[in-house]
Structure 1
């Protein structure tokens, strides 16, 4: 195990963005598989396209953006540890988290082949409860995480993201069910 952690640490120091993209993709996929298999009990009806979409989001969009974001937060010109930590967490949760969640619902809807109108409808039904849940989990976690060395912050987020990604996957799928019921109602 120590050898694996050492290899990962070495890889992160050489290729931080790629390392974070790969670990994010794997952990986002893990969250979706947990959502579909352990919570939704889909069994052989697993939606592999849904898993692929969340992998694209987690590894291809979320990880590079968050990597840049954490580096930007690290540059805040506040020298005192706790005021800097609280400033970073405040910016992360009250400025960046709404942006990321909006991006998530928009990207997932567009990857499902729908338009921006459908993305807006999904955002309208899911954004506020998802953001509130995000704050309950990530405000306390990020206070601790901002004390972790920079190169490990996204990995720490991704570890917490396994249950969070399961929740996001369910929120996204729930919005899809609402859209289906509404479209059936319009046809009737």
Structure 2
């Protein structure tokens, strides 16, 4: 295990963006699999397209943006450890998190082939409860994460993201379940 972590650390040092994208893709897929298999109990009806969408979001959009964001936060010109931590967490959670969650709901809805009206509806239904849940998990976690070396922060976030991504996947799927039930009622 130590050799695997050493190889991963070496890869992150050489290619931080690619390493973060790869680990994010795997861990976002894991979160969606947890949501579909352990919570929704889909079994052989696993929605692989849904998993692919969250992998595209996690590996292709989230990871590069967060990698740049963490580097930006690290450059805040505050020398004292605790004030710097509180400033970083505050910016991360009260500026960046709402943007990322809005991006998530926008990207996922558009990747489902829906239009901007559907994005607005999804956002109005899911944004506030998701943001509150985000704050309850990530404010304490990010306070600790800011003490982890910069190159491992995305990995630490991704580890916590397994249950969080399961939650996001469920939040994103909720309106579809309601929509499906409404469509079935219309058929009758």
Give the match for residue 103 of structure 2: 103
Please list every run of 5 or more consecutive structure 2 residues that lacks an aligned counterpart in the other structure: none
CA distance in 2, matches of 1:180, 1:95: 34
Give the match for residue 48 of structure 1: 48
Give the match for residue 14 of structure 2: 14
CA distance in 1, matches of 2:187, 2:107: 27
CA distance in 2, matches of 1:25, 1:37: 18
- Give 3-state SS (helix, strand or coil) of 1:172's partner: helix
Tell me how large the CA RMSD over aligned residues is.
Answer: 1.4
Q: 1:186 to 1:77 in 2, by over 3 A?
A: farther
Write the deviation string for residues 158-184 of structure 1: whole angstroms up to 9, x where unpaired. 000000000000000002223445666
The CA deviation at 1:88 is 0.2
Give the match for residue 30 of structure 1: 30
Write the deviation string for residues 134-157 of structure 1: whole angstroms up to 9, x where unpaired. 000000000000010000000000
Write the deviation string for residues 34-81 of structure 1: whole angstroms up to 9, x where unpaired. 000000000010000000000000000000000000000001010000
CA distance in 2, matches of 1:182, 1:132: 28
Report the number of matched residues: 188
Calculate the TM-score normalised by the size of structure 2. Answer: 0.96
Q: 1:64 to 1:88 in 2, by over 3 A?
A: same
CA distance in 1, matches of 2:186, 2:103: 28
Give the match for residue 150 of structure 1: 150
Give the match for residue 138 of structure 2: 138
CA distance in 2, matches of 1:180, 1:44: 19
Calculate the TM-score normalised by the size of structure 1. Answer: 0.96
| Between 171-180 and 55-64, the greater mean CA deviation after superposition | 171-180
Give the match for residue 117 of structure 1: 117
